[in-house]
Amino acid sequence: MEALTRIAHASIRVAAELTPAEAKANAAAQMAGLAYGLAAIGPGIGIGMIFGKAIEAMARQPESAGMVRTTMFLGVAFTEALALIGFVAFILLKFA
């Protein structure tokens, strides 16, 4: 707890020494990282659900495994697009 308090005090001291432009860039970097992290959580959960259900379906009906795999692959690719959009937003916010 004491260590956390020291870190917080150090951060406040550093923030107080920043110019407004530096503070703005600092906040933008933090928010961009947060946005990327949040954007990756949803697709991660979605891909887990897709694969879980697909494997359940393949185990129940092995004869339809090909069909399930096709649906699964496309579903995963579409879900991944969300993560890519989050990543692109991060890159553009941070570096562009």
Partner 1 sequence: MKTDDPQYVSILSMNDQGPAPEAAIVRDIIKHGSIVAPILIGLSAVFWGVNGAWSGAYGVVLVLGNFAVAAWMVSYTARISYALMMGATLFGYIFRLAVIAAAVFFVRNATWVELVPLCMTIVITHVGLLFWEMRYISLSLAFPGLKPKHVASPTVQDSTSN
Where does this chain bind partner 1 (CB under 8 A)?
Answer: 40, 43-44, 47-48, 51-52, 55, 58-59, 62-67, 69-74, 76-78, 80-81, 83-85, 87-88, 91-92, 95-96
Q: Left (φ > 0), alpha (ψ -120 to 50) or beta: where does 19 sit? A: beta
Shortest Å, Cβ 31 to partner 1: 17
Shortest Å, Cβ 90 to partner 1: 8
Sequence-distant (≥ 6) Cβ neighbours of residue 13 within 8 angstroms: none
Neighbour count for residue 23 (Cβ, 10 Å): 14
Shortest Å, Cβ 61 to partner 1: 10
Nearer to partner 1, 9 or 51 (CB): 51
For residue 63 the two structure tokens come to 């004869």
